[in-house]
Amino acid sequence: MKHYFNTNKVLSITALAIGAITIFFACKKDDAKTGGDETKDNATIFAATSEATVNAIYEDVFSSALDYNSRELPPGGRKAPVQADVQVCYGNVELIPGDLTTFPKTLTIDFGAGCTDGHGTIRKGKIKIALKKLFWFLNSDATVTFENYYVNGIKVEGTLTIRTEAFGTGKDKYHYTVTNGKVTFPTGYTATYTGTRTITQIGGGGTPSLRDDKYEMTGNAVLTDSLGVSTVTITSPLQREVICKYIQAGEISVTLNAHSGKLNYGSGECDNKALLTIGDKAKEIILKH
């Protein structure tokens, strides 16, 4: 099965920086509360980065759900996911009922006390996937819940629902929704989260190689933390080729407490740069690994 954004890379080497929630482009929450244009700008930057980081966690869950279905259920044929060249820990899998024909069924992925993949991402606890039918059928639905589940020490809660909107056409398309999401970081930072994402393959679907695959992402989200309510919208689809480490094109807008900004990733170049614009100010951002 050919896969989409390769979320292991999203978690570890793009601007999302899961292990660095306290950095946020050097913005500090206490400073962001003091008022003034500069601190409001910093708070908006914090909000944009925070939402991206939190979405990356749920995107990783989405990716894991697809990978494990590819390994465990036909027509995936119990083969390893495309990340197998780097992943060293898949977790233990329990399928109930254990046959491949009876539905609905529940697929439980148990990472135990913690296991580390080839990118250094540590997953702990359980992901439970309730399947109404195979992912490979159009409009198939899966509901994902969590049991003491952590990614890199970040506790993940809520419900994620996944729907297959196209499959096997060379333009696979999936939609997922996060409801009642909540993340708790080791630093003490917490946020609640709701959001939707649509992932569409836009290139490379007609070849057996993964290296020419290209995907785009659309959607929106609402994140609430101690700074307030942040609304994030992908205003131009985010695009990335599998061979590139970074989002290459697209734009997001973020509004925190009526203060807005936008982050533009460019027009297709594979580089680590993005342009942040807030009001009449623009700043080039170097995307973190």
Q: Is the pLDDT reported for residue 192 higher than 60?
A: yes
Distance separating alpha carbons of residues 126 and 112, to the nearest angstrom: 7
Distance separating alpha carbons of residues 230 and 199, to the nearest angstrom: 22
Give the closest residue to 181 by CA, choosing from 163, 197, 165, 198: 197
Distance separating alpha carbons of residues 256 and 232, to the nearest angstrom: 9
What are 28-37's pLDDT values in tens digits?
A: 334 444 445 6
Q: Is the pLDDT reported for residue 108 higher than 60?
A: yes
Q: Where are the alpha helices (DSSP H) in 14-141?
A: 29-32, 37-72
Backbone angles phi, psi at 107, to 5 degrees: -110, 115
What are 235-284's pLDDT values in tens digits?
A: 999 998 878 877 889 999 988 888 888 889 889 898 888 888 887 888 88
Choice among 12-21, 229-238, 254-263 with the minimum mean pLDDT: 12-21
Distance separating alpha carbons of residues 80 and 76, to the nearest angstrom: 9
Burial group, residue 231, by CB count within 10 angstroms (0-12, 13-18, 19+):
middle
Task: Give kind and range of the element (H or E) at residue 259.
Answer: strand 259-267
Question: Which amino acid would we find at residue 189?
Answer: Y
DSSP code string of 180-201:
EEEEE-TTS-EEEEEEEEEEEE
